[in-house]
Chain A
Amino acid sequence: MRRFPWDILLALLLGLGAGLAYSWMISPLQVFDSEPIALRTDFKDDYRSAIAASYAVTGNLPRARARLALLGDSNLIETLNSQAQRLTAGGEFAQADQLAALALALDHGTSAEAQPTLTSTAKSNNPNQGKATATFPPTPEELPFQFTETPPASDTETVVTLSTPDNPTPRPTRTLIPTVGAPFALTTQDTVCDANLPDGLLQIIVFNSSHRQVAGARIIITWDNGEEQFFTGLKPELGNGYADYNMSPGLTYTVRISAGGDIASGLTAPTCQTPTGESFQGGIKLTFEQP
């Protein structure tokens, strides 16, 4: 009976192990030509900030959307808002504004409707292949909300790009000029007597003219010899445009949005009663909205 060739099998396994060790550990495939989706999280944040900064200047939403798609975020708007809130917390308001404006534009689909003549000249290795030119003056209702100053109008052509030629041809966009937007109006001011809420809770909700909640809106609250600033969107579970503040008993507050608009003044924590007759400090709910 012929003996099983254990020695050959052992040599094969040894060789296999040596080969795997070399290819996985000693000399793994060198990384080059990677895609943005493989970037480390903080570099993805940088990439996203650059996209938002570019969008703030060009107003080219399809191009911004195509670039964001390269990062593979499952929810573009949520990711942008989340990054905007982190930057806001870190005091980087300019970048946060740009990200929030881009999130708002994506949510609103601001420039997706324009359909001017398309000139497709996809011939480059640009990751966003495909080009189109179109420049239109913006109409007031299509101007995206933004907290920053109005940049000068760009007279350059708008270039629309896509990640792959298989995608539908992008619609060229109007060259939008971001503006500060209309001032916020105080639309409702309600007393909230809910014993389940913290005492003296001041709730603020900010909407834009499209009735969408606005993240990153800076709110200024003042009282005798004091002032604080806080931002909407830091509690996204309660809404992107939500912010709250705990009022101290006996103090009178004034609230306004830094972007401009109505001022809610004379705000004091109301005294409420439970069904059993016990007193507690109620709250106030303010709603600001762009007309």
Chain B
Amino acid sequence: MKSTRWLFILIALVAGIGIGLAYGWVVDPVEFFDLTPDTLRADYKTDYVLMVAEAYHSEADPGLAAHRLAIFGSRSPSTIAADGLEFARTNGFSDSDIALIQELVTALQAWSGIQ
């Protein structure tokens, strides 16, 4: 077989791979559902932290707040809340929201988790 023929075969193979990747990654990517909260966009995570902070402001139960934040995985609750605080500070959340999250962060940092 001529070398040009092999060249065409190689080009076709590469083109096929390229088309396959484009289809699988762009046109019809794998659809995800049943996701875990750690995959949430940062603003949604922060809004969840804010909800927990709002509830904590009244309940004053750091254990319950830590339990609620545990849906984000194995990181410590105070770290999760601190990440939310950082996002809130850098993205224009209201002062009252930031204060609530700050209160939660402080409480969780002081909370030992042993009740």
Distance, CA A113 to CA B13, complexed state (A): 65
Choose, from A80-88, A149-157, A256-264, the stretch at the interface: A149-157
Which residue of chain A has the shortest Cβ distance to B99 in the bound complex?
Answer: A156
- Within 29-76 of B, Cβ neighbours of A (below 8 Å) are at 29-30, 32-37, 39-44, 46-48, 50-52, 54-55, 57-59, 68, 71
Contact A157 B12 (CB under 8 A): no
CB-based contact A57/B19 at 8 Å:
no
Chain B positions within 8 Å of A154 at CB level: 57-58
Q: Which residues of B contact A139 (CB under 8 A)?
A: none
Residues of B within 8 A of A237 (CB): none
Report A220 CB to chain B, min CB distance, Å. 26
Task: Indicate the size class of the contact surface on chain A.
Answer: 35 or more
Residues on A with C-beta less than 8 A from B5 are 7
Interface string of B93-104 (1 = CB under 8 A from A): 110110010000
CB neighbours (8 Å) of B16 from chain A are 11-19
CA of A56 to CA of B64 in the docked complex: distance in angstroms?
15
A residues in contact with B21, CB < 8 Å:
19-20, 22-23
A21 partner residues in chain B, CB cutoff 8 A: 20
Chain B neighbourhood of A12, CB < 8 A = 12-13, 15-16
Is A11 in contact with B9, judged by CB distance below 8 angstroms?
yes
Minimum CB–CB distance from B86 to chain A (whole Å) comes to 13
CA distance A165 to B36 in the complex (A): 27
A76-118 CB contact bits vs B (8 Å, 1 = yes)?
Answer: 0000000000000000000000000000000000000000000
Number of A-B residue pairs, CB cutoff 8 Å, is 176
Does the CB pair A126–B96 fall under 8 Å?
A: no
CA distance A34 to B30 in the complex (A): 14
Closest A residue, CB atoms, query B22:
A19
Chain B residue at minimum C-beta to C-beta distance from A24: B24
Which A residues from 27 to 43 make CB contacts under 8 A with B?
28-29, 31-36, 38-41, 43
Question: Which chain B residues lie closer than 8 Å to A50 at the CB level?
Answer: 48, 51-52, 55, 68
Bound Cα distance A256, B30 (Å) = 54
B17 neighbours in A (Cβ, 8 Å):
15-16, 18-19, 22
A131 in the interface, Cβ–Cβ < 8 Å?
yes
Q: Residue-by-residue, is A139-164 near B (CB-CB < 8 Å gives 1, otherwise 0)?
A: 00000000000011010110100000
Min distance, Cβ A7 to any Cβ of chain B, angstroms: 6
CB within 8 Å for A15 and B14 given contacts A46-B71, A57-B58: yes
A115 to chain B, nearest CB (A): 20
Contact between chains at B23 and A23 (CB < 8 Å): yes
| Interface residue A213 (Cβ < 8 Å from any Cβ of B) | no
Are B36 and A23 in contact, with the CB atoms below 8 A? Answer: no
Check B23–A34 contact: CB distance below 8 A: no
A residues within 8 A CB of B41?
A: 32-35, 127
Q: Looking at the complex, which one of B13, B14, B34, B44 makes contact with A36 (CB distance below 8 Å)?
A: B44
The contact sample of 9 A-B pairs, CB cut-off 8 A, is A15-B12, A16-B16, A18-B16, A19-B18, A28-B24, A29-B30, A32-B39, A50-B51, A53-B52
The residues of B with any CB-CB pair to A shorter than 8 Å are: 5, 8-10, 12-25, 29-30, 32-37, 39-44, 46-48, 50-52, 54-55, 57-59, 68, 71, 87, 91-94, 96-97, 100
Q: Which 7 pairs from chain A and chain B are nearest by CB?
A: A19-B20, A15-B16, A23-B24, A124-B92, A53-B55, A16-B16, A12-B12
Sample of 8 more A-B contacts, CB < 8 Å, known A53-B52, A57-B57, A57-B59: A14-B13, A28-B29, A33-B40, A39-B36, A54-B52, A126-B43, A154-B58, A156-B96
